[in-house]
A and B are shown apart, each in its own frame.
Chain A
């Protein structure tokens, strides 16, 4: 069972829907909170299958960018195209049904439900069975998909445990399992390594690098070691604007970036 199969789709299906359009195309996206511009005129293009890291200090607008892409917040201005389709006016659930997924910086899980129920809910969310009044049967495809995803993120031992009883690291792994549910075409990971132990970080890197090559993602990550190992390109943000884009090595060596973010204790924001 590959991770892709566990996510409930086949390689041929995925390639056929990918097409030639950009996975994500943001043009002139701004987000104002009163007088504060959290995002200013953002242009961002991510190709299908591309893995992008978004870096920046606290308050740079990274999570706001995610919120605008997924529909948690409506952008004040600008266009957001997902695989060629304009989605800026769509509610969050419509974007998710088109294959967009995300994880949250602070785990947003269903604490009263078990691990398996959480992933099962995530699998149902993009299926027609989400309004079903009938319990899943033993051979239910969505339940099987949920069980496989629980296995993929190494949570088999706690699959029937209530989420409120999980460790922080396990909750982060569960977030990833939920993001992989259904048929994701593109995933936004919001600081998935925050608060993880070195062993858990290694597991996370293995999960991310083990994703099918055509499944693109954007990752916000303060841990440069994780970010640069799992991303092919890097976008630096500062004060709600895109400050620099390039390959990980270029960004790492860029003097301006070093001065702003990598160099000195001040720049190393965490949170």
Chain B
């Protein structure tokens, strides 16, 4: 009997554990388990090209969501930050361009790449926080354009138009991380780390203050906050997420070139965030999956209905328009409205609905 009796301390611990499990909705568990066992039934192409790419783009877009959704700052420079981290890994580490690449070990090259990306993000942030709204978008777009042209024209450091190829992940633990299953788990792991970090920080004093800055910067100053310092710190943290995504993106295609972080990809990151929704960190990942599915299979869809495959961008554009038209706050907004609708009492709320 002694075995089944529990002390007050253990009871309290049990209650706390129960609380912890109960707090996580069932849907989370389903998604979590489905993602973990995905390699058992998904093809290599799906794992590597669809999910791997979605997780990476989701991370870079998450950095934009963190700034835009929590901080009210729409930054188009996130893809450039990611690209810079990719470039730095190629320059500090190994690549096929041995004249430029320094060949330093991964445990120096990767942290250094992230630090450089964070410094870049912080500098751009310190410029951008002096503006608001459309001007923030414009200044960050200008920096993204400058980064694209600079990397394309600079051969001494960035190797100009062709960039770097043969940029491979280290063979850590004897695993070839560019194989589909290891790469899937690698990207899933870092996407999960980024997602839960943003989720956690959103309720920490820093995240709450950032939301306060978004809602009312003047009031935040009147509460003792240095509003600009907070915004710049947010840019630095977002750069860390984008930089991590950028390194994974470089490893995925084993190359980094100016086109990776051009103006088109910079805007794609915004499109992903808008499609998914900027209100919660899951939005960018949903947006990224839809974007990747459209980009990967749009040609097949067009060809199957007898149209030219060259028009696949049109299909992506139409998909984007349809989502934004029906739900300006992305798929998350659509989901939230559906949840609200389900909770309504059809007898009591019908009149209000019609209004």
B215 beta carbon closer than 8 Å to chain A = yes
A126 touching B205 in the complex, CB below 8 Å, given contacts A110-B216, A111-B215, A113-B215: no
CB atoms of A93 and B226 under 8 A apart = yes
Which range holds the interface residue count of chain B? 20 to 34
A210 beta carbon closer than 8 Å to chain B = no
B203: chain A residues within 8 A (beta carbon): 135
CB atoms of A96 and B219 under 8 A apart = no
**B 192-228 binary contact with A (CB < 8 Å = 1; else 0):** 0000000011011111110110111011111111110
A109: chain B residues within 8 A (beta carbon): 215-216, 219
A181 CA / B225 CA spacing, docked (Å): 13
B233 beta carbon closer than 8 Å to chain A = yes
Min CB distance A32 to B, Å, is 21
A51 CA / B95 CA spacing, docked (Å): 71
A244 beta carbon closer than 8 Å to chain B = no
A117 CA / B215 CA spacing, docked (Å): 13
Contact of A120 among B208, B218, B220 (CB under 8 A): B208
Q: Compute the total of residue contacts between A and B using a CB distance below 8 Å.
A: 91
Contact of A93 among B205, B207, B221 (CB under 8 A): B221
B226: chain A residues within 8 A (beta carbon): 91, 93
Min CB distance A129 to B, Å, is 5
Query: Whose C-beta in chain B lies nearest to the C-beta of A120?
Result: B208
A33: chain B residues within 8 A (beta carbon): none
CB atoms of A136 and B205 under 8 A apart = yes
A121: chain B residues within 8 A (beta carbon): 205, 208-209, 212, 220, 223
A21 CA / B223 CA spacing, docked (Å): 24
- Tell me how many residues of A have a C-beta within 8 Å of chain B: 34
**B 224-238 binary contact with A (CB < 8 Å = 1; else 0):** 111100100100000
- Give B268-313 interface residues, CB cut-off 8 Å to A: none
Query: Whose C-beta in chain A lies nearest to the C-beta of B202?
Result: A135
CB atoms of B233 and A110 under 8 A apart = no
Query: Whose C-beta in chain A lies nearest to the C-beta of B229?
Result: A131
CB atoms of B212 and A135 under 8 A apart = no
Query: Whose C-beta in chain A lies nearest to the C-beta of B279?
Result: A112
A121 CA / B219 CA spacing, docked (Å): 11
B225: chain A residues within 8 A (beta carbon): 93, 125, 130
Min CB distance B238 to A, Å, is 13
CB atoms of A72 and B218 under 8 A apart = yes
A182 CA / B225 CA spacing, docked (Å): 13
Which of A130, A134, A182 has the largest count of B CB atoms less than 10 A from its CB?
Answer: A130
Which of B219, B230, B233 has the largest count of A CB atoms less than 10 A from its CB?
Answer: B219
B230: chain A residues within 8 A (beta carbon): 130-131
CB atoms of B208 and A97 under 8 A apart = no
A72 CA / B219 CA spacing, docked (Å): 10
CB atoms of A72 and B224 under 8 A apart = no
CB atoms of A110 and B212 under 8 A apart = yes
- Give B52-68 interface residues, CB cut-off 8 Å to A: none
B221: chain A residues within 8 A (beta carbon): 71-72, 91-93, 96
A93 CA / B224 CA spacing, docked (Å): 4
A124 beta carbon closer than 8 Å to chain B = yes
B215: chain A residues within 8 A (beta carbon): 109-113
Min CB distance A183 to B, Å, is 11
B205: chain A residues within 8 A (beta carbon): 120-121, 124, 129-132, 134, 136
- Give A129-147 interface residues, CB cut-off 8 Å to B: 129-136
A131 CA / B205 CA spacing, docked (Å): 6
A63 beta carbon closer than 8 Å to chain B = no
Min CB distance A125 to B, Å, is 4
CB atoms of A131 and B233 under 8 A apart = yes
CB atoms of A96 and B222 under 8 A apart = yes
Min CB distance B354 to A, Å, is 23
Min CB distance A92 to B, Å, is 4
Query: Whose C-beta in chain A lies nearest to the C-beta of B216?
Result: A108
Min CB distance A220 to B, Å, is 16
CB atoms of B206 and A108 under 8 A apart = no
Contact of B209 among A70, A124, A178 (CB under 8 A): A124
Query: Whose C-beta in chain A lies nearest to the C-beta of B204?
Result: A135
A168 beta carbon closer than 8 Å to chain B = no
Query: Whose C-beta in chain B lies nearest to the C-beta of A97?
Result: B224
CB atoms of B206 and A132 under 8 A apart = yes
A120: chain B residues within 8 A (beta carbon): 205, 208
CB atoms of A130 and B204 under 8 A apart = no
CB atoms of B206 and A96 under 8 A apart = no
CB atoms of A131 and B206 under 8 A apart = yes
- Give A90-113 interface residues, CB cut-off 8 Å to B: 91-93, 96-97, 102, 104, 108-113
A71 CA / B222 CA spacing, docked (Å): 8
Query: Whose C-beta in chain A lies nearest to the C-beta of B225?
Result: A125
Contact of B219 among A71, A110, A131 (CB under 8 A): A110
CB atoms of A92 and B208 under 8 A apart = no
CB atoms of A113 and B223 under 8 A apart = no
Given A93-B227, A121-B205, 5 further pairs, Cβ under 8 A: A104-B222, A113-B215, A124-B209, A125-B223, A134-B204
Q: Could you give 7 example pairs across A and B, Cβ below 8 Å?
A: A108-B219, A121-B208, A131-B206, A132-B204, A133-B204, A133-B207, A182-B224
Which are the 9 A-B pairs with shortest beta-carbon distances?
A125-B223, A125-B224, A96-B224, A108-B219, A110-B215, A92-B221, A126-B224, A132-B205, A124-B205
